[in-house]
Amino acid sequence: MQRVIEGNNRGIFVQGEMAVWRRWLGVALLACAALTSPAQADEHHDKHYDKHEMAGALSVMVLGSGGPVATAKGRASAGYLIFTDGKPRILMDVGGGTFQRLAKSGINVKDLDLVLLSHLHIDHTSDLSAIIKTIYFHNVGAGVTRDAPIQIWGPAANGVPFPDTDIAQYPATSEYVDAHYAMPGGVERYLNVFAKAIRAGSFAYQAHDLNADWQAGGVQAVLEQDGLKVTAIAVKHGPAPAVAYRIEYKGRSIVYSGDTNSESDNMIALAHGADLLIYDTAIMDTHPNPVMLQLHTTPSRMGEVAATAQARRLVLSHITPNTEGNLKTVKALIRAQGYTGKITPARDLRLFALDED
C-alpha cells in the first residue's frame, strides 16, 4: 500500500490572502537563515563526525540505545542512522532523543530518503516529525532544494483489538503517517506548505505497509536499488505489529531486530551470516512480569538466535533499567548458548563502520 502527498501541487491560498502569505514567507526565511547558519549549528557540540569516519561501504551510527524509560544514564530511545559509502541514507526507528543525538553528531541528512519503522510504539517513533523537518532545513542550509519523497516503511495493521472491544490497538503504518502529514486532515499538514515557504523544495512522502503476520514468516522485499538491498520479516512483539530489517550493501550486512520476543525462528532466517546484528536487550531471563516475556527477547534466546544465525557481531541495544546494570550477565547468558562472535553494548553516537572491523 502506498500513499503520496505532494506539497507543491495544491492551491492552498486564494488571491486575497497573498499579502499575508508574503509577509509570513519573509519572516520564515529570516528564521530559516538563523536556524541553518553554520555558527548556530556548531555551538555546544563536543563531537562531529568527518566523512573519513564513515569510510567503507556500510556503516551505522547509534542515535538511541535505550528504551521507553527516561533514566539518569541518559540514553535516547531507539534509533539508528545507516550510511552507504559514507552518505546517510536510512533512518531505522526514531525514538525520543534521537533528534538531539542527530544534532550533536553534526551529520547533514539533506539526502536521507528512507525511514524504516520497526513498529509504532512511542519510543520508536516520537522524533519522526522533528527529523523530517530538519531534512528540509538541511537542504536550505546547503543551498539546494528537495522534491523527492521521503519513503517510510513499517508494519501493516494486524487487527488485534483492545480487550472487550472491537477497536484495533494499532493502525497500519500508512494510516499513522497519513494522520501526521496528509492533506487535508494530517495534524502536521503544515509541512506541505512550510517546505515551500522556506524554499526547501516541496514536501512529499510515500508510506508503505509490510506484512506483520509473524506466524506466516517469509522475508519481504523493501528496496533493491544501486546495490542497496533492504528486506524485512514480521516478528512477534506481543499484540503490536512489528518487523525486523536487514540492510545489505557491497557484501556487508546489518540486521536490526526492533522489539521482539524472538518466539519464532524468523530472526534466525533474517540474520543468517549478518556482519552486524543489533538486538533488543530490554529484559533478563528472569523478568518477573510474564507480559514482558511476550514483548522482548531474553539474553538466552538472543544467544540461540545469534549462534544459529552465525552473526559476526552482536550489538546489545534497547537497553533498559532491567538490563543496564546486568550487561555482564547478559553477555554470559549469550555465550552459554554457544555464540562466539563479538558482543558490544551500544551507546548513543557510537559508529560501527563494518569495513573497519
The model's confidence at residue 177, banded by pLDDT at 50, 70 and 90, is: very high
Position 24 scores a pLDDT of 46
Smallest Cα–Cα separation from 261: which of 218, 214, 308? 214
Report percent pLDDT > 90 for the chain: 83
Candidates 3.60.15.10, 3.30.70.20, 3.90.1150.10, 3.40.50.1820; CATH matching 2-9+16-352:
3.60.15.10
Q: From CA 266, how far away is CA 294, in angstroms rounded? A: 15
Distance CA 39, CA 202 (A): 26
- For 86-139, how does the pLDDT look when each residue is reduced to its tens digit (9 = 90+)? 999 999 999 999 999 999 999 999 999 999 999 999 999 999 999 999 999 999
Cell of 97: 532523543
More confident residue, 35 or 233: 233
The pLDDT tens digits of the residues spanning 46-60 come to: 455 555 456 679 999
Mean pLDDT of the chain: 88
Q: Is the pLDDT of residue 41 over 50?
A: no
Q: Tell me, what's the pLDDT at 37?
A: 43
Q: Is the pLDDT of residue 27 over 90?
A: no
Phi, psi for residue 345 in degrees, rounded to 5:
-65, 135
What was the pLDDT predicted at 355?
A: 75
Give me the sheet containing 313-317, strands edge to edge: 220-225, 228-234, 243-249, 252-256, 276-280, 313-317, 342-345
Q: What is the pLDDT of residue 217?
A: 82
Query: Is 14 in contact with 188 (CB distance < 8 Å)?
Result: no
Strand, helix or coil for residue 353: strand
**What is the grid cell recorded at 13?**
491560498
Give me the mean pLDDT over the 27-41 stretch.
42
Percent of the chain's residues with pLDDT above 70: 84
In single-letter form, the type of residue at position 279 comes to Y
pLDDT at site 30: 43
Cell 547509534 belongs to residue: 62
Q: Is the model's pLDDT at 43 over the cut of 90? A: no
**Least confident segment among 12-16, 178-182, 272-276:** 12-16
Specify the pLDDT at position 5.
Answer: 30
Output 18 or 324, whichever has higher pLDDT: 324
pLDDT, position 48: 52
| Helix axes 299-309 and 327-335, enclosed angle (nearest 10) | 50
pLDDT at 198: 96
- Residue 289 in this model has a pLDDT that exceeds 60: yes
Residue with cell 542497496: 228
Q: Distance between CA 94 and CA 114 in Å, rounded?
A: 12
- Give the mean pLDDT of 242-262: 98
Q: Give the DSSP letter of residue 355.
A: G
Instruction: Enumerate the domain spans of the chain.
Output: 2-9+16-352
Q: What is the mean pLDDT of residues 321-340?
A: 98
